[in-house]
Amino acid sequence: MFDPHNLRYTHASERPDGTTHSSGKTSTHWYSKRSIGTLLIAGSAALSLALLGCASASGSDSASANGDGYSNAGHHGHHGGWNHEDEDNNGADDASGGGASENSDEGSDGEVENIGDGSDGDDSDGGGTAEPTAPTEPNKPTAPIDAADPTVPIEPTIPVEPATPTDPIEPATPIEPTVPTEPAAPTVPTVPVAPTVPTVPVAATDPVVSGYPVHTNIIATTFWVGEIFDPNLPDGSQVCSTYDSQWAAHWSGVATDTVPDDADGCAGSPTGGCDGIATFNGDTISGCETEGRTAANDFFPSSATPAENPFYLDLPYDDLNDSTAFDERCEVIPWAAGEANAALCDDGEHSFMKNRWVAITGPNGATCYGQIEDAGPSHDDLYHDKEYVFGSSDAQPVQGQFNNAGMDVSPALNGCLGFSDLDGDGDTVSWQFVDDAQVPDGPWSRIITNSGVNN
């Protein structure tokens, strides 16, 4: 059992003067007072130095054994001296019996006094004489631990400077994960191209551009090839026109029957053609209704295939069948004047009005173009309204009927101009004549009518 207050060494030791002292079973190992003083002051280091002393004492071969061969070593620092206690044969400590020796340092001169009451080597209180032990080779004294003066405070240990932290290694730039390639989209089947929607023409605003006056705020109604407006009127049917007695047949290419010879209008003209929805009773057409038109099919009819231009109109000036109009046409029609047309002025088979181009701006603001293919709206002998048709005063029509309309337009023009009714009389337009070269491309130029008078 280790006792830091009771360390004994069972071996002979050397005095400071170089002599060896052996006292029976126990011996004292001598240390300098300087070493002992260090142990007293070191405080918490006492245990460490004691262990050093033990290591030094046990490291030598000078340990002496007691009667049963066991040895215990210990030291007890007391005013610079050592106090050794003996051990019985059974290992029990005996602090009062023989064999114990007391050593004390005296002063600073290094003289040591050894005081002991067991010099006879007896390990009891007076019983038996012990055989002298053969002297052992004395150990060389362990060099004293060089300790500082106990009066001088121990310098505190200088803390080791912590290592300068190494700059952290820049982490490698993470590799961007590969973006998975988007799978190719399935091929979308090609959608058939819809019919071309005509570009909305720009409204004609400057009459000087075309050289012809602009007529504004004119009521326009709708009429169509094949329509029977009033069979009791000479001009109540659109089977024929003032310029073509076979207009429906020429326009549509259809002729299934004829108008009776005793009819008030269009007697003997072929029937069957219709710019709309036709109904038949056998070969005889019994009805011809209009239909709405859209830009999706260029405002063409859905049930008919026109052979002539579906963009047509009329104006109340009949330069062929109205005698007043015929007589003055080369004077009032701007494009009829001049020597080049002098021979045609008296030609009853020629019209200066048929197929003429007109630019019309409708309620939707679009300007669409059409060709003149009839005369109207008018009645009786009023088909020579030159002031309204050719005048520059922006005069209104003089005929006074049909809401005083000044123009009839085809279903194609009705749709192109954005009329509110398929067959009404409340939509207004602005219009002016234009020369052939001033007509832009559009649905109105898909089919151009060039046929002459046919009466």
Residue 318 and residue 324: Cα distance in Å, rounded?
A: 9
Tokens of 170: 């820049």
Q: How many helices (DSSP H) and strands (DSSP E) are in the chain? A: 7, 16
Tell me, what's the pLDDT at 235?
A: 58
Query: Which of 21-25, 277-281, 308-312 is most confident?
Result: 308-312
Tokens of 358: 């007109």
Mean pLDDT, the chain, rounded, equals 71
CB 123 within 8 A of CB 67: yes
Q: What is the full DSSP assignment across 358-412? A: EEEE-TTS-EEEEEEEEE-S--TT--B-HHHHH-SS-PPPS---GGG--EEE-HH
Return the higher-pLDDT residue of 199 and 226.
226
Closest CA to 266 of 252, 245, 251: 245
Residue 248 reports pLDDT greater than 50: yes
For the ranges 28-32, 167-171, 299-303, which has the lowest average pLDDT? 28-32
Return the higher-pLDDT residue of 117 and 274.
274
Report CA dihedral (341, 343, 344, 348) to the nearest 10 degrees: 170
Tell me, what's the pLDDT at 228?
A: 76
Report CA dihedral (259, 263, 267, 268) to the nearest 10 degrees: 40
Query: Which of 68-82, 186-200, 247-261 is most confident?
Result: 247-261
Tell me, what's the pLDDT at 335?
A: 96
Return the higher-pLDDT residue of 356 and 191.
356
Residue 217, φ and ψ in degrees, nearest 5: 55, 50
Closest CA to 273 of 258, 301, 290, 253: 253
Q: Does 207-445 carry CATH code 2.40.50.100?
A: no
Strand partners, 454: 244
pLDDT tens digits, one per residue of 423-446 = 999 999 999 999 999 999 999 999
- Give the other-Cβ count within 10 Å of 127's Cβ: 8
pLDDT tens digits, one per residue of 77-91 = 444 433 433 334 333
Return the higher-pLDDT residue of 41 and 215.
215
CB 155 within 8 A of CB 147: no
- Give the other-Cβ count within 10 Å of 176's Cβ: 6
Return the higher-pLDDT residue of 97 and 398.
398
Residues in the chain: 455
Task: Characterize the bridge pairing of strands 312-315 and 367-375.
Answer: parallel
**Distance, C-alpha 276 to centroid of its chain:** 52
**Distance, C-alpha 75 to centroid of its chain:** 86
CA angle 208, 211, 217 (to 5 degrees): 75
Domain segments of the chain as ranges? 1-153, 207-445
pLDDT tens digits, one per residue of 159-217 = 545 555 555 555 555 555 555 555 555 454 444 444 444 444 444 444 345 789 999 99
Q: How far apart are the first and last CA of the chain?
A: 152
Percent of the chain clearing pLDDT 90 (strictly above): 46
CB 278 within 8 A of CB 287: yes
CB neighbour list of residue 189: distance below 8 Å, 6 or more residues apart? none
CB neighbour list of residue 339: distance below 8 Å, 6 or more residues apart? none
Strand partners, 105: 112
Percent of the chain clearing pLDDT 70 (strictly above): 52
Residue 67 reports pLDDT greater than 50: no
Tell me, what's the pLDDT at 249?
A: 96
For the ranges 65-69, 249-253, 313-317, 359-363, which has the lowest average pLDDT? 65-69
pLDDT tens digits, one per residue of 326-339 = 999 999 999 998 88
Q: What Rg, from alpha-carbon coordinates, does the chain have?
A: 71
pLDDT tens digits, one per residue of 414-423 = 999 999 999 9
pLDDT tens digits, one per residue of 107-164 = 434 333 333 443 443 443 444 444 444 555 555 554 444 444 545 555 555 554 555 5
Residue 351, φ and ψ in degrees, nearest 5: -120, 135
Return the higher-pLDDT residue of 261 and 70.
261
* Residue 355's pLDDT band (cuts 50, 70, 90): very high
* Residue 97's pLDDT band (cuts 50, 70, 90): very low
